[in-house]
Structure 1
Amino acid sequence: MQIAPKTNAAVSTDVVIFTIRAGRLSVLLVRRQNAPYAGLWSLPGGLVGEGEALEDSALRILLEKTGVQGVYLEQLYTFGQPGRDPRGRVLTVAYYALVPYDRLHVRGGVERLDWFPEDELPPLAFDHRQIVGMARRRLSGKLHYSTIALQFMPEAFTLSELQGVYETLLGERLDKRNFRKRLQALDCLEDTGKRYNGGNHRPARLYRAKSPGEVRIIR
């Protein structure tokens, strides 16, 4: 019987935090203060504590490094390519989080934080560009079979605002009539009874998600 080689691999979690700012999908990054890759940007991340569940680790790191909490969080993939961390063997379980920009209150601290458009990222430490790319593809794919886009919306929003989120994520314009027919079939929204008056146009109805914080899979 072949005996597996011993390993002293450490386990970490890294989180891709997505929001939509000024009509662009954006990612929250941390500028690293220490080696390796001091001065480069990276995803918020850190080692999993002894006896700590993976998701608990991701939520703790988000709170400690960014002040972000109460967001939609989903496990993405485990990255374990040898050499991905010059300090030694480290496996990272990556997550991605989605948050409406109006609910996001990032806390400043020792580490510098900043937002970058997903398609204009600076040089990233480790394999974090690969992680962001996979999270972006997962998000785009789930638009077609789930209600995940609602995680970007504020408490109340117009259908035009929701369509704008879909168009940002898909990178294409959508037919207004077909889009609203699809929403009606999903039965995921409810009318708040209020209207938004944004200028010269007729006031638009305001809607909210029927199940905020929940992503429903479309069969």
Structure 2
Amino acid sequence: MADEPWEPPRILLAVDLVILTLRDDRLHVLLVERGIEPYQGTFALPGGFLRDEHEAIDAAARRELAEEAGLADVHLEMLGVYGEPGRDPRGRVVSVAYLAVAPRLPEPVAGTDAADAHWIPVDEVLSGRLELAFDHRRIVEDGVERARAKLEHTALATAFCGETFTIAELQRVYEAVWGVRIDPRNFYRKVKSTRGFVVPAGPMRRNANGRPARLYRAGPVRVLYPPMVRAGQAEEGQRS
């Protein structure tokens, strides 16, 4: 008996977007309320299927960002590929996830199959208090960890400050993204020991308590050395 001809499995390709920003000194993620089944009425990451075999994956990501949240001109980088069987009740779906971490993003505007779009505090998702569709909580967790690592090794945090800022304002960015409280003296020492991270800028500014605070601006470097390592990461490195 001749072997039956092989047929490729039916696998759908999708994109999901983890868009992070700071609002009121808290890290927020962009979520949409699904307007269709499955998971209608549940929060999810913006995203969707490729239109056809001709659409590039990164083009699909930018299109979904515009269609589902009304955002454009946001730099996206690939976060990972998620394709566990059973992650989508509609069939075998493989998703390419993208990450963006950007300051001062506007209010989202829902469209296409999204009933609404909101900036949601990340800790609402990471704690499990807010249910997400599919495996999107895991994707958010991976995106937040990538963002936290970016603050360790790059000067990204200065983009979330004004043109000039105090060390305390820069510290609040790190606390919001890392989700921890930081000792001010240790933070000041780390910032000053990281060459080219920040440079002095202009006269001093008085804080709310009336004390003067020195102003800084972003320095010339983009990759930090030594990095601004989180306390837990440093302790793990010492044990190993």
Deviations 1:125-177 (A, max 9, x none): 11101111111222223333333333433444332111111122333333334
Rg: which structure is higher?
2
Gaps of 5+ in 1: none
- 1:115 is aligned to 119
Instruction: Give the Cα–Cα distance (whole angstroms) in 1 for the partners of residues 165 and 224 of structure 2.
Output: 22
1:209 to 206, 218, 240: 218
SS in 2 for 1:84: coil
Gaps of 5+ in 2: 227-240
Would you say 1:157 and 2:165 are equivalent positions? Answer: yes
Shift of 1:215: 5.4
Would you say 1:78 and 2:81 are equivalent positions? Answer: yes
Q: After the TM superposition, which residues 124-203 of structure 1 pair with which residues of structure 2 at under 5 Å, given as runs?
A: 124-184=132-192, 185-193=194-202, 196=205, 199-202=208-211
SS in 1 for 2:107: coil
2:204 and 2:215 in contact (8 A); partners too: yes
CA RMSD of superposed structures (Å): 2.8
1:98 and 1:151 in contact (8 A); partners too: no
SS in 1 for 2:99: strand
AA in 1 matched with 2:99: Y
- 1:62 is aligned to 65
1:72 and 1:151 in contact (8 A); partners too: no
How many percent identity over aligned positions? 42
Shift of 1:204: 3.9
Shift of 1:41: 0.6
Shift of 1:195: 5.9
2:70 and 2:110 in contact (8 A); partners too: no
SS in 2 for 1:144: helix
- 2:25 is aligned to 23
1:16 and 1:96 in contact (8 A); partners too: yes
2:26 and 2:121 in contact (8 A); partners too: yes
2:42 to 40, 43, 68: 40
Distance 1:71 1:84, change over 3 A: same
TM-score, structure 1 length as denominator?
A: 0.81
Instruction: Give the Cα–Cα distance (whole angstroms) in 1 for the partners of residues 174 and 92 of structure 2.
Output: 39
AA in 2 matched with 1:39: G
39-48 or 17-26, larger mean C-alpha shift: 17-26
Q: Give the length in aligned residue pairs.
A: 213
Distance 1:168 1:116, change over 3 A: same
Instruction: Give the Cα–Cα distance (whole angstroms) in 2 for the partners of residues 77 and 85 of structure 1.
Output: 17
Shift of 1:190: 4.2
TM-score, structure 2 length as denominator?
A: 0.75
1:30 and 1:41 in contact (8 A); partners too: yes
AA in 2 matched with 1:188: F
SS in 2 for 1:143: helix
